[in-house]
A and B are shown apart, each in its own frame.
Chain A
Amino acid sequence: DIQMTQSPSSLSAFVGDRVALTCRASQSIGSYLNWYQQKPGQAPKLLISAASSLQDGVPSRFRGSGSGTDFTLTISSLQPEDFATYYCQQSYRTPYTFGQGTILEIK
């Protein structure tokens, strides 16, 4: 299986901060990388597909970048509703595996 490693595992930040969450694949996955946001008790929500394609309705402060093995999700100006857990997922080869998540907490 392709292993996905996210860092940091948790992050504290202020409203208005710019943050970068990283995701590394154990082998090259091209741009087959998706990002999800999950809030407690809710279903994960797709934010970005194909490494950098923003889903309809997702604010433009979210940006995805990278290819190959190294990927980044950047949130340019944190809003209160952005505090959640973020997961990356590779869709290059089944089983489509997930990172362990980054918990983004308000400082």
Chain B
Amino acid sequence: QLHLQESGPGLVKPSETLSLTCAVSGGSISDSSYYWVWIRQTPGKGLEWIGYISVSGTIDYNPSLKSRVTLSVDRSKNNFSLKLSSMTAADTAVYHCARLYSVGYYPLDYWGQGILVTVSS
């Protein structure tokens, strides 16, 4: 059974860069059938797509965040990471990582529970 676990700071100051990591267990991040995804969730905007990355180097970012987002994968640690720069209060959210099956209809078949990130001075 695949398990995804987000980690990182729960509090970030305005203008700083958020760094989150998603640890993957029970499966290999190198499986070419999957992409690795970040999504965030707020009461106001609901679920918002951030982007995905594959181990082969395929990357896709939400255009609304593209200028501030960087995704990366670490095969040796079986994890992947998100960096979001120039954080503001509007970036306060629960950040989820997830796995996307890249064959067929691209469902998100496993999700992490999420980590609450608050932006405040």
Residues of B48-66 whose CB lies within 8 A of A: 48-49, 51, 60, 62-64
Say yes or no: A91 contacts B111, CB within 8 Å: no
Residue of B nearest to A96 (CB): B49
Q: Determine the chain A residues whose CB is within 8 A of the CB of B105 once the complex forms.
A: 31-32, 34, 49-50, 53, 91
- A residues contacting the other copy or chain, number (CB 8 A): 25
Determine whether A20 belongs to the interface, using a CB cutoff of 8 Å to chain B: no
Residues of B90-109 whose CB lies within 8 A of A: 96, 104-109
Say yes or no: B62 contacts A34, CB within 8 Å: no
Say yes or no: A49 contacts B112, CB within 8 Å: no
Overall SS of chain B's interface: strand
Q: Determine the chain A residues whose CB is within 8 A of the CB of B49 once the complex forms.
A: 94-98
Say yes or no: A89 contacts B108, CB within 8 Å: yes
Say yes or no: B106 contacts A96, CB within 8 Å: yes
A94-B60, A95-B63 known; A44-B108 Cβ under 8 A:
yes
Q: Determine the chain B residues whose CB is within 8 A of the CB of A96 once the complex forms.
A: 49, 106
- Bound-complex Cα distance A50 to B109 (A): 12
Say yes or no: A34 contacts B107, CB within 8 Å: yes
Say yes or no: A32 contacts B113, CB within 8 Å: no
- Bound-complex Cα distance A95 to B108 (A): 13
- Bound-complex Cα distance A42 to B110 (A): 12
Determine whether B89 belongs to the interface, using a CB cutoff of 8 Å to chain A: no
Say yes or no: A49 contacts B60, CB within 8 Å: no
Separation in Å of the A51 CB from the closest CB of chain B?
8
Say yes or no: A100 contacts B106, CB within 8 Å: no
